[in-house]
Chains A and B, each alone.
Chain A
Amino acid sequence: MRLLPYGDEALLAEPEDPATVLALVAALRDEPGVREVVPAARTLLVRAAAGDLARVGARLRELATTAGAGACPPDGPQVTLDVHYDGLDLDETAAQVGLEPDGLVRAHTAGSYVVAFCGFTPGFAYLTGLDAALHVPRLAQPRTRVPAGSVGIAGEFTGVYPRSSPGGWRLLGRTDADLWDLARTPPALLAPGTRVRFRSA
């Protein structure tokens, strides 16, 4: 694992196996001195007081040797999202991956996904577990407005737009689920570690 400096009060950890990121995040959360742990695609950021960084880094190295063995994501809550598969890019994306639209829907609903990290907007979750046959690049020209609830794919990820925003993911459908609700704790329906399935509505 590489530990990279990130200013005076954080460090960036790059485990050899990206599949261990979520396990490391979960293991570090209750570590004394750790203020915040933020996962991303291949790395995790750990914030701690300057005086605690060396100890937290050493602990991370220790955890990496144990968390690396299993590499299974921690048991997060399970969420099933009902999707109307009528997205603007469904037909074209199906053609691109050599499937009929129905086949693309079957492939997308067959997957078990895990929220790897959030970003872009509050509650926007990057879900891993997408069938490699469905990995397609994002749109060459992002849309200026993607409606809230849109379900899309891009690269190795699938995800749902929690609210209307610009976006370049290929849209397969839409869900009525409330992805971001400030009255809920946590407000994000899809927080890192949450396991997700899609069901055709």
Chain B
Amino acid sequence: MIEILEPGPLATVQDLGRPGFAALGVPRSGAFDRAALRLANRLVGNSDDAAAIEVTLGGLEIRLTAAATIALTGAPCPGAPDWGRAVSIPAGASVRLAMPPSGLRSYLAVRGGVGAAPVLGSRSTDTLSGLGPDPLRRGDVLAIGRGAGEVSGAGALGSPAGDAILPIRFGPREDWFTAAARASLVGAAWIVRPESDRVGIRLDGPRLARAQDGELPSEPVLPGAVQVPSDGRPILFGPDAPVTGGYPVIAVVTGLDRAAQLRPGDPVRFSSGRG
């Protein structure tokens, strides 16, 4: 069992989410940094879709009631065991993650996987819909699943260091914006606003002006969509994004893992690959 001594600002159970239910109004959810989750699972011999703990800005402290093998990936936190490899923890020992100097989300996988009750095939906490387990609280106890493959050696860590440049593809509603707005999207250095969360990363920068007025009837939305509300400040949707939205999506980010590590105040750029 895993006892939660301190959850930190936000710790949730996450696997690869529950894709396939958007037509019923269910967000995909799942780990924000999916590469980091996969790596943590592989390190301890779990399947890619096993559930782990997603830790936001460190602060997590756990105690293991029995000896266990864990792996930590994502934003490295001081004070924790080795990052990026399987580590054996003796029974009764605790693990504490301090605040990471950079990056935002860390993943703690345990050999066997975190055993919460699945909802629509996933153990992920959906912070928008309230599906899946509640965010972790002090005193919570998580079961550990059984059955895992071979523990693997150290993995290549995707480091959140360096400037964040997120690849985008313009559309579906780029024509709702002026040419200047489209140029600003890829030309500007955007700053992550504090109101960002698993639903969306809210950005500050030049206001993106519309080329046409009016309202868009509700359209399907996916994680990665860059939606621009009427105030002209873009929101990059995360895993817990709603399944429909009424504001135009100017572009879609084609990989969210790096975005998962953006914290308030961080700069971020978009790159379209267009000349």
Residues of A within 8 A of B (CB): 4-8, 10-12, 25, 35-45, 47, 117-126, 182, 186-188, 191-192
Contacts and interface: CB of A to CB of B under 8 A. Distances in A.
A35 B21 CA distance: 11
Given A119-B244, A122-B26, A122-B129, A36 B217 contact: no
B222 to A, nearest CB: 6
B20 interface: yes
Contact of B23 (A11, A39, A121): A39
A4 B171 contact: yes
B253 interface: yes
A155 to B, nearest CB: 9
A118 B224 contact: no
10 contacts: A6-B249, A40-B218, A41-B219, A43-B217, A43-B220, A117-B244, A119-B243, A121-B25, A186-B24, A191-B24
Given A5-B172, A121-B129, A40 B24 contact: no
Contact of A6 (B131, B242, B252): B252
B220 A39 contact: yes
Given A6-B252, A7-B224, A117-B244, A12 B23 contact: no
B19 interface: yes
Contacts of A119: 25, 218, 242-244
B120 interface: yes
A188 B24 contact: yes
Nearest to A190: B24
B268 interface: no
B218 A41 contact: yes
A188 B225 CA distance: 25
B5 interface: no
A122 B23 CA distance: 9
Nearest to A43: B219
B170 interface: yes
A45 B243 CA distance: 10
Nearest to A182: B119
